[in-house]
Chains A and B, each alone.
Chain A
Amino acid sequence: MGALALSLRDKRIAVCVGSGGVGKTTVAAAIALARAAEGGKVLVCTIDPARRLANALGLASLGNVESRVPDHAFREAGLHPAGELFAMMLDVKRTWDDLVARHAPDRARRERIYQNRLYQQLSGALGGSQEFMAMEKLYELATERDYDLVVLDTPPTAHALDFLDAPDRILDFLGNETARALLLPALSAGKLGLRVFQLGGAYVARTLARFTGGEVLNDLSDFLQGFHGMYEGFERRAGVVRALLAQPDVGFVLVSSAAPLAVDEALMFHERLHAESMPVAGAVANRVTVPLTEPGAPLPDAGRLREALGRRDPGGLAERLAATLAEHELLAAADAREVARLFEAVGAPGVVIPRLESDVHDLGGLHRLAEHL
């Protein structure tokens, strides 16, 4: 069992974080497969899987439904896991709708919210929405199901920290008393505020209407009124969800490539986790070019390789081999520096996944990747 799998052994929840484009979804699926192979009942919750991986996991088009990866799929890949693997794709909109239904005082209020244009945008696309719902869904899975391990993939964002910050932004959006105080008086027809505060509020609202169009502010007002009284419920819920993330049976896995920018993001996230006492289970450096020669050993020139090739050298092969090896080792050295930068800061176990093993489309590929974990 690799260092990361070992580190995750006592965990019931693994959260894969990192910037977009590093292969988080694939790593999350591989972590889940590795545990299922050992005998656990495991769920991987993905956000935005590539079509082929989704197909491999049996995720054709189902949202928010936990579907079991069938035995025959494993057999076809030559695998015999001792446990079971389930997979699901997070449906952000549906998760929002469920959350609203959970908190709305009655059906009429629920429907009013569902109809609101702003709600429809928020639940579909507003920044932070995916992250908020990923956390919400994680809480549900952790508390209402009996998986040995739930692995959460996180949304692909430019800033890995969005996963922690975005839910608070959404919460603020839902419950901001300043906004309600500003908007509601201003939108009552014909009222000129008598107090400075109200006057300010009306002025702000009218000014913003110049930027955005009056309709948007009406939608916003209706939205806030819709959510009135529900905010505390949301806030409490978000609070327990956050508390969940600080439990000892949770492990954050920092996923990065060897690209300096991805490492920067992972390190920022690590600092935050540390600051919030959230447990880091390990780090994964994905798509790494690994060295092929001994460190410090001089690289062979074309002459040396031509000797070694003997009669096997048709035109120019030795030159191309020398150049290719030199390039490879240059890339490997650059990657090694970045990986070291990541692992040194993280402290928890780090695993390297070589580039070739990262191109994964099916269970067999996931298994090969999982072997590195």
Chain B
Amino acid sequence: MAGPPLLDRRLLLVTGKGGVGRSSVAAALALLGARRGKRVLVCEVNAQERVAPLLGAAPAGAEVRQALPGVWTVDVTPESAMREYGLMVLKYRTIYEAVFENRVVKYFLRVVPSLAELVMLGKVLHEVRAEERGQPRWDLVIVDAPATGHAVQLLRTPGALLDTVPAGPLRRDAQWMHDLLLDPAHTTVALVTLPEEMPVNEAIELDEQLRVLVGIPRGCLIVNAVPEPRFAAAERAGLQAMEADPPPLGAAARAAVLQGLRAELAARQVARVRAAIDLPVLVLPLLAAARWDRSAVERLADACDQGGAPWARSP
């Protein structure tokens, strides 16, 4: 979609089903942004915090907290977002506290469809818009957005509200949120998947939902943990025969056969998802790491910084 390079936008939503490495990719992109001198905020949404720990920092909780030079994180929860948003709207803390006792707030957050989503999205988008001394508070806000049914609902909320809410402060809020989400100059989505059958199925479905139901600019598809093809087809038959050899050759041959098979299956899935989704594709290699920690995320950030990547610097 036309617009500035993806990391130069203000809001980057990293989405994908559970288990694809979404949080690692979000952390890697945050590192990449910081390397380019940006002030980056990573928002997790009502989650068991992952991004700060991946970067070797303490979890932030509901208050924005710096993880590294250039990178801050926060966990946006319905309760904290509701309180902030409610206070903004109602203006008087005493009234808010008198009326919105916790029990009641919790009930309504659960019960009223999309209310939790609305306030969390509102919190995120307010951070995107926030300014300090006339400058944007953040150069880039990355949202680690799990692609459950909720995520699509989350993004649809402002649009849905425009259909039902009469003129007034809430409608105005819904309007600017809707406009910001759909503006390719400011917003983009990176879909993350794995080179495996079910994740690819889910990515295809998610892409369609985002395109058809939400209309948010979709920037790229990231296929994570792709083993590189390392052994030619001709070699692989010979390697299979070598598995019977005594160690260490037998073991090495077995590792190679497994790697070759995995790479072949992965290549098939990458081809399938490229054919099905009309987006630039970034392939991230499978990284063997003793521990999935900050150095692993730095390596992932290096892999994201390839030439031809959807956020490569324009020449």
Q: What residues of chain A lie closer than 8 Å to B20, measured between beta carbons? A: 21
- Answer yes or no: A145 CB below 8 A from chain B CBs: no
B230-270 residues at the A interface, CB under 8 angstroms: 230-231, 235, 238, 242, 245, 247-249, 251-256, 258-259, 261-262, 265
Q: How far is the CA of A260 from the CA of B48 in the complex (A)?
A: 13
- Answer yes or no: B112 CB below 8 A from chain A CBs: yes
- Pick from A125, A176, A217, A322 the residue with the most CB of B within 10 Å: A176
- Answer yes or no: A172 CB below 8 A from chain B CBs: yes
Q: How far is the CA of A50 from the CA of B201 in the complex (A)?
A: 9
Q: Is the pair A182, B17 in contact by a Cβ cutoff of 8 Å?
A: no
Q: Is the pair A324, B230 in contact by a Cβ cutoff of 8 Å?
A: yes
Contact of B238 (CB < 8 Å), options: A173, A265, A312, A359: A312
Q: Is the pair B251, A118 in contact by a Cβ cutoff of 8 Å?
A: no
A208-222 residues at the B interface, CB under 8 angstroms: 208, 210-213, 215-217, 220
A236-293 residues at the B interface, CB under 8 angstroms: 257, 259-262, 264-265, 292-293
Looking at B69-77, B103-111, B124-132, B180-188, the stretch in contact with chain A turns out to be B103-111
Q: Is the pair A200, B18 in contact by a Cβ cutoff of 8 Å?
A: no
A121-B113 in contact given A19-B19, A158-B148, A203-B99 (Cβ < 8 Å):
yes
Q: What residues of chain B lie closer than 8 Å to A300, measured between beta carbons? A: 248-249, 252
A210-B242 in contact given A178-B107, A325-B255 (Cβ < 8 Å):
no
How many residues of A are in contact with the other chain, CB < 8 A?
A: 70
Q: Is the pair B17, A20 in contact by a Cβ cutoff of 8 Å?
A: yes
Q: Is the pair B112, A321 in contact by a Cβ cutoff of 8 Å?
A: no
Q: How far is the CA of A333 from the CA of B290 in the complex (A)?
A: 7
- Answer yes or no: B1 CB below 8 A from chain A CBs: no
Interface of B is mostly: helix
Q: Is the pair A305, B249 in contact by a Cβ cutoff of 8 Å?
A: yes
Q: How far is the CA of A176 from the CA of B109 in the complex (A)?
A: 13
Q: Is the pair A325, B18 in contact by a Cβ cutoff of 8 Å?
A: no
A-contact 0/1 string along B167-195, CB 8 Å cutoff? 01110000000000000000000000000
Q: Is the pair B254, A204 in contact by a Cβ cutoff of 8 Å?
A: no
Q: What residues of chain A lie closer than 8 Å to B99, measured between beta carbons? A: 200, 203-204, 207
Q: Is the pair A330, B100 in contact by a Cβ cutoff of 8 Å?
A: no
Q: Is the pair A212, B247 in contact by a Cβ cutoff of 8 Å?
A: no
A103-155 residues at the B interface, CB under 8 angstroms: 118, 121, 125-127
Q: What residues of chain B lie closer than 8 Å to A68, measured between beta carbons? A: none
CB distance from B252 to the nearest CB of A (A): 4
- Answer yes or no: B58 CB below 8 A from chain A CBs: no
CB distance from B161 to the nearest CB of A (A): 7
- Pick from B23, B89, B198, B291 the residue with the most CB of A within 10 Å: B198
Q: Is the pair B19, A321 in contact by a Cβ cutoff of 8 Å?
A: no
CB distance from B293 to the nearest CB of A (A): 10
- Answer yes or no: B90 CB below 8 A from chain A CBs: yes
A304-B248 in contact given A127-B150, A172-B110 (Cβ < 8 Å):
yes
Q: Is the pair A334, B289 in contact by a Cβ cutoff of 8 Å?
A: yes
Contact of B113 (CB < 8 Å), options: A50, A126, A156, A309: A126
A158-B47 in contact given A204-B99, A325-B248, A334-B291 (Cβ < 8 Å):
yes
Q: What residues of chain A lie closer than 8 Å to B142, measured between beta carbons? A: none
Q: Is the pair B248, A324 in contact by a Cβ cutoff of 8 Å?
A: no
- Answer yes or no: B288 CB below 8 A from chain A CBs: yes
Q: Is the pair B113, A118 in contact by a Cβ cutoff of 8 Å?
A: yes
Q: How far is the CA of A172 from the CA of B104 in the complex (A)?
A: 12
* A-B pairs with lowest CB-CB distance, top 7: A21-B19, A20-B18, A213-B164, A300-B248, A308-B249, A328-B255, A327-B288
Residues of A within 8 A of B (CB): 19-22, 50-52, 118, 121, 125-127, 156-159, 169, 172-173, 176, 178-179, 182, 200, 203-204, 207-208, 210-213, 215-217, 220, 257, 259-262, 264-265, 292-293, 299-300, 304-305, 308-309, 312, 314, 317, 320-322, 324-331, 333-334, 355-356, 359
Residues of B within 8 A of A (CB): 17-20, 23, 47-48, 50, 89-90, 95, 98-100, 103-104, 107-108, 110-115, 118-119, 146, 148-150, 153, 161, 164-166, 168-170, 197-199, 201, 230-231, 235, 238, 242, 245, 247-249, 251-256, 258-259, 261-262, 265, 288-292
A sample of 27 cross-chain residue pairs with beta-carbon separation below 8 angstroms, ordered by A number, consists of: A21-B19, A22-B19, A125-B149, A126-B113, A169-B110, A172-B107, A176-B111, A178-B104, A200-B99, A207-B90, A212-B115, A212-B118, A261-B48, A293-B248, A304-B248, A308-B249, A320-B230, A321-B249, A321-B252, A321-B256, A322-B252, A327-B259, A328-B288, A329-B255, A330-B289, A331-B288, A355-B262
